[in-house]
Structure 1
Amino acid sequence: MSALILALIAGAVVGLALGALGGGGGVLAVPALIYLLGFTPSAATTAGLLIVTATSLTALWTRARAGHVRWRAGALFAAAGLVPAALAGAAAAHLPQPVLTGAFALLAAAAAVRMLRPARGTGDGSAAPRPGRAAGAGAGLGAVTGLLGVGGGFLAVPALVAVLGLEMQAAVGTSQLVIVGNSLASLATRGFTASGLDWAVIAPFTAAAMLGAWDGKRLAGKLSGPALQRVFAVLLLAVAAFMLVDALS
């Protein structure tokens, strides 16, 4: 199968995940770029950030039109992660490839386990935001985004619910704003690596992901949220196991 077809298929899956669940696009994009399209882990994390940024902007627009974005809360949350994202993005270029692969595998496994756990409840917008916890959660999310090239929506959504008290739909929409901010901050320090990327693969991958995000939003309205999360979690566990074996071999 040609690289173009693989890029289109993988991009569509990434977009569906991000549009339906508010996150998870980068966790699928990076391994797809490495194992299906031949990118190195370092190049894949940079390309993953480019893809996630473009796709998240598409998802952000659709969520904003529906009134599901809390701009002030999202901007404050994202602001705490900008510096950590930039610093981690610069550090990622100096880490050995097996370390990046292994760290990514552990992150994917943690995300899958979280998705399989029963939800503890959702916010209703009435909880009082806790600035210290919000800053800490935003900074941690930014560091993860910068280091591993993922938007971190699967971490941002529960954090926005638990720390800022957003209801689930608003948390999913606002997470797109956080993802865009952190991804752009990381890309600012990774710019010197972008010249070696294969744009003939990244461009169709990104286009398919952006279109998939539209379909993912509609899919989320038709299917059970928990069912979507379980399917995605099982896929993530398989990806994590494969990457961990690869990193250790």
Structure 2
Amino acid sequence: MTTLILALAAGAVVGLALGGLGGGGSVLAVPALIYLLGFTPAAATTAALLIVIATSLTGLVSHARDGHVRWRTGGLFAVAGILPAAVAGALSVRIPAGVLSASFAVLAVPSGVRMMRPRTPVRPETDAAGTHPADRAARTDAVPTGRALRAGAGLGAVTGFLGVGGGFLAVPALVTVLAVPMTTAIGTGLLVITMNSVAALATRLTTPASLDWAVIAPFTAAAVLAAWDGKRLAAKVSTAALQRIFGAALLAVAVFMLADAVG
């Protein structure tokens, strides 16, 4: 019974993070599966991918219905990162786990700080129809292809090397590098997470780990349900507040991983 309660509680937290913030699924799920539910690291990472795929798809559908997904940008972002992630993942096996965790923390801190201190850009004047160019770009998904590919490849290399942080790094990159509004970055980030997680899971099918479905099933169910609540919560919170929440969560995860690496 205790295990079931822990699985439900952890799943709810993961779902809220993915639905409301567009990231944090694997970063939160893997430690929960290892430290709270007794999974081995190999089993935890595989189970986390299954949980994140199901939950991200749920959140993605919800955000897509509201028009908060940039399909072209997200697709370019994710596709560009697949090969770099595979190459970096192969190299990462030679690096001690503690070094990888510390590296992630070092990379996550500046992203978190930047997200907590969002700058309001100076909006250009409207056109004859009273529409801002930024708003037109948001509707047409007019992010430069080259920039999206470079950002996606860089993120793929980082996440493949470190093994965690896809969503927590994708959303800040979408906001700060590609100037995607926070509400749209959340939905687009879920698209990136889903595609990257499916690709990562495919590479693990050749070496399947033993999975405890009695834990994974309730964990996933709670996460899927909580993702809807997270999405509704995001709709009620201002963009600036969401960025601060996201940045604070990213910093908290970075501190935890750094402490775990040092300890």
The match for 2:192 is: 178
Residue by residue over 1:76-106, the C-alpha shift from the partner in whole angstroms, topping out at 9 and shown as x without a partner, is: 2211011122334444555443334434444
Cα distance change, pair 238–164 in 1 and its aligned pair in 2 (3 A):
closer
In 1, the alpha carbon distance for the partners of 2:207 and 2:107 equals 23
1:56 Cα shift?
1.0
Cα distance change, pair 30–229 in 1 and its aligned pair in 2 (3 A):
farther
Which runs of 5 or more residues in structure 2 are unaligned?
124-133
1:74 Cα shift?
1.9
Match of 2:258 among 231, 244, 249: 244
Aligned pair 1:72/2:72, yes or no?
A: yes
In 2, the alpha carbon distance for the partners of 1:141 and 1:209 equals 25
Cα distance change, pair 107–74 in 1 and its aligned pair in 2 (3 A):
same
Q: Secondary structure at the match of 1:192?
A: coil
In 1, the alpha carbon distance for the partners of 2:226 and 2:204 equals 26
1:247 Cα shift?
1.8
In 2, the alpha carbon distance for the partners of 1:173 and 1:79 equals 17
The match for 1:215 is: 229
1:107 Cα shift?
4.8
In 2, the alpha carbon distance for the partners of 1:107 and 1:204 equals 33
- Residues 47-126 of structure 1 mapped to structure 2, 5 A cutoff: 47-92=47-92, 95-121=95-121, 124-126=135-137
The match for 2:7 is: 7
Q: Check the 8 A contact 1:46/1:187 in 2, yes or no.
A: yes
Which runs of 5 or more residues in structure 1 are unaligned?
none
Q: Check the 8 A contact 1:86/1:185 in 2, yes or no.
A: no
Aligned pair 1:16/2:27, yes or no?
A: no
In 2, the alpha carbon distance for the partners of 1:167 and 1:176 equals 14
202-211 or 129-138, which deviates more: 129-138
Residue by residue over 1:163-219, the C-alpha shift from the partner in whole angstroms, topping out at 9 and shown as x without a partner, is: 545443333222221111111122222223432233332222222111111000111
72-81 or 116-125, which deviates more: 116-125
In 1, the alpha carbon distance for the partners of 2:9 and 2:174 equals 31
- Fraction of identical pairs, as percent: 68
TM-score by length of 1: 0.83
In 2, the alpha carbon distance for the partners of 1:172 and 1:64 equals 11
In 2, the alpha carbon distance for the partners of 1:81 and 1:56 equals 18
Cα distance change, pair 125–161 in 1 and its aligned pair in 2 (3 A):
farther
1:20 Cα shift?
1.0
RMSD of the TM alignment (CA)? 2.9
TM-score by length of 2: 0.79
Cα distance change, pair 53–108 in 1 and its aligned pair in 2 (3 A):
farther
Q: Secondary structure at the match of 1:126?
A: helix
Cα distance change, pair 227–69 in 1 and its aligned pair in 2 (3 A):
closer
The match for 2:126 is: none
Q: Check the 8 A contact 2:182/2:239 in 1, yes or no.
A: no
Matched residues, number: 249
Q: Check the 8 A contact 2:27/2:164 in 1, yes or no.
A: yes
In 2, the alpha carbon distance for the partners of 1:78 and 1:94 equals 25
